[in-house]
A and B are shown apart, each in its own frame.
Chain A
Amino acid sequence: MGSRASTLLREEEIEEIKKETGFSHSQITRLYSRFTSLDKGENGTLSREDFQRIPELAINPLGDRIINAFFPEGEDQVNFRGFMRTLAHFRPIEDNEKNKDPTASEPLNSRTNKLLFAFRLYDLDRDDKISRDELLQVLRMMVGLNMFVSQVLRMMVGLNMFVSQVLRMMVGVNISDEQLGSIADRTIQEADQNGDNSISFNEFIKVLEKVDVEQKMSIRFLH
């Protein structure tokens, strides 16, 4: 399949993607074959359903949010370019990239862009603020408080789990919504500087100042 994938991808396209995302040639072809294997409709784009077919994503509490991050606003399809652009956020920062000339546009995997990606996961309405509610929603997801029927079904189908297992997982949630609420309050309070009771992107950066985002938001893409 790999050979098929690479033949379908034009050389100049690879070059462009390389330039934009910084992935190596082999990484691009490998990811392209992954892309095509996900693309069940074989129309060169991925839909949300294509992503949701990945079984492990079903149990990822933030799975839906992350899938959403692949889609430009208001669109239901993502092509390979867009796919790669999103993945590029997770490319580790290499040494030679750190001291590139400052005039060049910021690479997708810069610290700021990585943070922006994480920020967007929270900021559903794209008003550049994480409100208490938005934070709470993510917290709920992370402790498994809102599992939707669709998600449960997907887990059962995708992971061959029994209903009882899924139910046990849901009941296993050991934190209440009230507790989450106060956790959200406290989190916002920690980060909030201008008193608007929400976290702006600048505040977000500030809070994560000490966190090694470069490392914590990078994975090693196989060649």
Chain B
Amino acid sequence: MSGLWHGKILMLMVVLTVSRHSLAFQARNANPSNQPGTNASTGNGTENTITTLPIVTWKWHHTEGPYLVALWVLVSWICKLVFQLNPALTNVFPESGLLICIGWVLGGIIYGADKVQTFRLQPFTFFYYLLPPIVLDAGYSMPNKQFMGNLGAILVHAVIGTVWNAASLGLGLWGCWLGGAMGHLNTGLLQLLLFGSLIAAVDPVAVIAVFEEVHVNEVLYIIVFGESLLNDGVTVVLFNVFDAFVSLGGPAINAVEIIKGIISFFVVAFGGSLVGIAFGILISLLTRLTKKTPTIEPGFIFVFGYLSYLTAEFLSLSAILSCTFCGVFCQKYVNTNMSEKSVNTVRTTMKVFANGSETVIFVFLGISAIDPSIWVWNTGFILLTLLFIFVFRFMGVFVLTWILNQYRLVPLGLIEQLVMGYGGLRGAVAYGLVFLLDENKYKEKNLMISTTLLVVYFTVMLQGITMKPLVNWLKVKRATTDEAMLAEKIMNRTFDHMLVAIEDISGQIGHNYLWDKWHNFEEKWLFRILMNPTARKSRDYIFNIFHQLNLKDAMSYVQEGERRGSLAFVRNDSKADVDFNKQFDTDFTDMPDIMGPDHIPVPFVLRDSVPSVSLNMHEQDQKMRESEDFNAHHLLQQHLYKGRKQRHTYSRKQPVVNRDEDEVQEIFQRTMRSRLESFKSAKMGVAQPKKITKHSKKDQTEKMSNGKPADDSKIHSYGDEDFEFSEGDSAGDAAGGSFPMAAYKGGAGIVNPAYMAEMDSNEPMPPMPQIPPWLAEAGEDSSNVAPSQRAQLRLPWTPTNLRRLAPLRLSTHSNDSFLLADSPATQEGTEPQPPLPLQDGRGRGTHM
């Protein structure tokens, strides 16, 4: 906890610094941290005419503004840091509440020093500097599908709910005012409605701050969050309309003006959203071109996001909605257009900005309170406002949700409604708006300010603190941790397709139907226009996740390897480069090639590939699944033996890559090797038995004749020709019993009889030539056989090539023996291939 104390001390120092800065104008009283500067200033700073060249000058006035800003940001952030170091504190209090408390303390210090509150959250600063990053971040990181899926509910709550809140509060207060519950207030219906509208909106800043800590389920979160985001726009619109009404004055308002007000409301809201979408399109288009300037690529997102905000603002459209929709719209395209690095940068930077301004806002909310000049107490007004806000919010939520539930697929339960109602936190937007009020028009401005502050404190502090216990107590369904599993992703995809199909069958146009239509439209037009072609190509939902997972695994695999201090795996695998590169290149860049002659989809089970995929998993969990490893080991042998041919086929199209080059890719390749093994296995599945049986059972000529049709058939995308092989090798099928698919698919499962038999039952191997199959194959091919197409393919397999391959085999083997170290017996028993004695020995040698 020493860090904590450091933090606190540092914070106090900064606090002192800042608070005394405000005095510095009059007293020129430098603070301790600026001591050297002070000395200099006494000498030179005061004179206007220079008699001699000053070495150092005191220029506090030049830097005062930015300096204070920087210090303020620093102070707020340090406060946040301190809280985060205190988990016990943040468990009970929401961070936003704590920041407000800190604001009080700071405000008290400043007030104590200056005797007047010199720091105040200026509406201009708030609306033009602090709010945009938060809104942009919220829009940009919005879970699109859920947002769109619940858009109806969000809009109803954001628009109707907010209007309801504003109207009910305004009217309620008006009624009480007329009834005399508040004593003498110089106000009126319109002013109270205005007050109602500015305080009606649930604040995204406060909601995000509280709800992110609570982790409620995603639907609830997106509704509360989406509502809070959109209704800010609504509030601002309402605020402007009512402000105009107040200026017009009561008598001037007729039906026409009211209708104009309503029209203006929609124009402002939808216009703002459209501006946002337009900017979203602009960003997407621009990022198509930014490949060459990766350093400023992320900057465009921010500039455009900010521009969308400002543009909407100067068009007097809703800036918040504009910024939100800009973020929502562009995220998908931008994220695919930009490089992974830039995407990460944008994400991180955005969070930094958003979190930063959020923190500053809350601290300022606290500081603003320590200012006696704004405090006007009117018990009736304040308490009634609090009461009405609370009650009407719940009423609005219940009624609107009841209506929505008539149309919702999964109705929102009572508990969720309670949380939604309770989550009606007011915050900085209301505060910013109330400061915008014109004192001449609104005689009770200060009362409104103090009421707003109290409402904010009440909701953020009290409701914020009790939110977590409430959620626990009500047993609200929590958010699922993360959906990182591939299986889940795939299934979600399946569900989508299923729902669309069922809607089609049952003949109704539902939500899924519309979503599907949009999806198709997007696929057809938007992707084409807004994404750059290469990004479009590599964009596949499932594959992306797969890629991410692989990267993660690769990293942890390397880490694990390094932690164990074994560099053996590095060396060994680096020899696999050649094979790897091929696979890698082809798979990732050279699609058409794959679809070419090498492309053999395998419609039967290949159990082997899985263990090889999960190598690192095994390592990490230390879960030794004996039988799995057993198979893994064995089958890897099989595979690598086949692998040569694969490699070979590729090498015709691409020169063999020198294994020393491309060091950069080494780590990735090394760790991906096991994965690629499975690619290979997918191809080899068909070819595998073919070869083995050829060697063990058939003579060379027969093999060749058999081989040719096989090669031709590879062009087919479907492996009907498996049946050919399986018929020829029907002896092997019986042995495939342990392969579930093979068992029931009967003829479809092509299994290598040789290795199957001994792997499953540990029976002695059927008689096999004591030459390594590949050696036999290569030797015979290159020497005896007439250069058929197939043989030509094989020609480069000279002994040198083979030698280079041996380490490759070894490496896999040794990786495996890594895991199998405790079961050497099994390992011995499973070695199926003749050269294994040698290999086995060498393989272990590298490790032991």
A residues within 8 Å of B by Cβ? 31, 34, 37-38, 51, 54, 56-57, 59-63, 66, 70, 87, 90, 92, 95, 118, 121, 125, 127, 129, 131-140, 142-143, 145-146, 174-179, 181-183, 185-192, 195-199, 207-208, 210-222
Contact = CB atoms under 8 A, between A and B. Distances in A.
Greatest chain A CB density within 10 A among B516, B617, B625, B682 is at B682
Nearest to A210: B480
Interface stretch (B346-354, B421-429, B534-542, B755-763): B534-542
Given A174-B591, A196-B740, A218-B409, A143 B486 contact: no
B679 interface: yes
B401 to A, nearest CB: 14
A148 B488 CA distance: 27
B718 interface: yes
Nearest to A177: B601
Interface stretch (B101-109, B491-499, B805-813): B491-499
A207 B487 contact: yes
Contacts of B49: none
Contacts of A187: 486-487, 490
B462 to A, nearest CB: 31
B183 interface: no
A211 B610 contact: no
A34 B506 contact: yes
Interface of B: 217, 219, 407-411, 413, 480-481, 483, 485-488, 490-495, 497-508, 510-513, 516, 520, 536-540, 542-543, 546, 549-550, 587, 591, 594-595, 599, 601-607, 609-610, 613-614, 617, 625, 627-628, 675-676, 678-679, 681-683, 717-718, 740-741, 744-745
Nearest to B477: A212
A221 B506 contact: yes
Given A133-B605, A175-B540, 11 more contacts: A59-B520, A63-B501, A132-B606, A139-B542, A146-B717, A175-B543, A181-B678, A182-B546, A186-B549, A210-B483, A216-B499
Given A139-B490, A178-B682, A215-B410, A54 B505 contact: yes
A199 B488 CA distance: 13
B748 to A, nearest CB: 9
Contacts of B542: 139, 142-143, 175, 183
A219 B502 contact: yes
A38 B627 CA distance: 52
A181 B487 contact: no
Given A133-B605, A185-B610, A56 B500 contact: yes
Greatest chain A CB density within 10 A among B485, B504, B506 is at B506
B718 A146 contact: yes
Contact of B485 (A127, A190, A199): A190
Contacts of A129: 740
Given A207-B487, A221-B508, A182 B613 contact: yes
A208 B744 CA distance: 27
A66 B501 contact: yes
A31 B300 CA distance: 52
A135 B601 CA distance: 13
B496 to A, nearest CB: 8
Contact of A183 (B407, B511, B513, B543): B543
Nearest to A117: B498
A70 B409 CA distance: 23
A198 B742 CA distance: 12
Contacts of A125: 744-745
B613 A190 contact: no
Given A133-B605, A216-B495, A185 B627 contact: no
B480 A145 contact: no
Contacts of B497: 60-62, 66, 142
A139 B3 CA distance: 51
A59 B520 CA distance: 10
A31 B613 contact: no
Contact of B605 (A132, A140, A177): A132
B740 A219 contact: no
A135 B486 CA distance: 12
A208 B409 contact: no
18 contacts: A56-B500, A62-B497, A90-B502, A118-B491, A125-B744, A131-B605, A138-B494, A142-B490, A143-B540, A143-B542, A145-B601, A145-B717, A188-B610, A191-B487, A197-B610, A210-B488, A217-B499, A218-B410
Given A210-B480, A214-B410, A216-B495, A177 B506 contact: no
Given A186-B549, A197-B610, A221-B508, A66 B490 contact: no
A91 B806 CA distance: 59
A12 to B, nearest CB: 23
A133 B30 CA distance: 76
Contact of B609 (A34, A118, A185, A207): A185
A143 B480 CA distance: 27
A34 B604 CA distance: 39
Contacts of A146: 717-718
A140 B492 CA distance: 16
A4 B603 CA distance: 48
Contacts of B675: 182, 186
A87 B506 contact: yes
Given A90-B502, A177-B594, A197-B610, A62 B603 contact: no
Nearest to A216: B495
A176 B502 contact: no
A151 B848 CA distance: 57
Q: Which 7 A-B pairs have the closest CB atoms?
A: A181-B682, A178-B679, A210-B480, A34-B507, A197-B607, A66-B501, A62-B497
Contact of B487 (A121, A174, A179, A190): A190
A176 B679 CA distance: 10
Nearest to A208: B491
A187 B503 CA distance: 28
A96 B690 CA distance: 60
A158 B421 CA distance: 48
Contacts of A189: 610, 613-614, 617
A191 B490 CA distance: 12
Contacts of A51: 505
A146 B599 CA distance: 14
A199 B502 CA distance: 25
Contacts of A211: 480, 483, 488, 491-492
A219 B607 contact: no
A57 B504 contact: yes
Contacts of A210: 480-481, 483, 488
B400 to A, nearest CB: 18
Given A51-B505, A146-B718, A195 B413 contact: no
Contacts of A61: 497
Contacts of B493: 142
Given A90-B499, A142-B497, A219-B512, A137 B549 contact: no
Contacts of A145: 601, 717
A57 B491 contact: no
Contact of A174 (B409, B506, B537): B537
B498 A190 contact: no
Nearest to B503: A219
B505 A178 contact: no
B491 A95 contact: no
Contacts of B411: 95
Nearest to B625: A195
A54 B492 contact: no
A77 to B, nearest CB: 16
A176 B410 contact: no
Contacts of A221: 506, 508
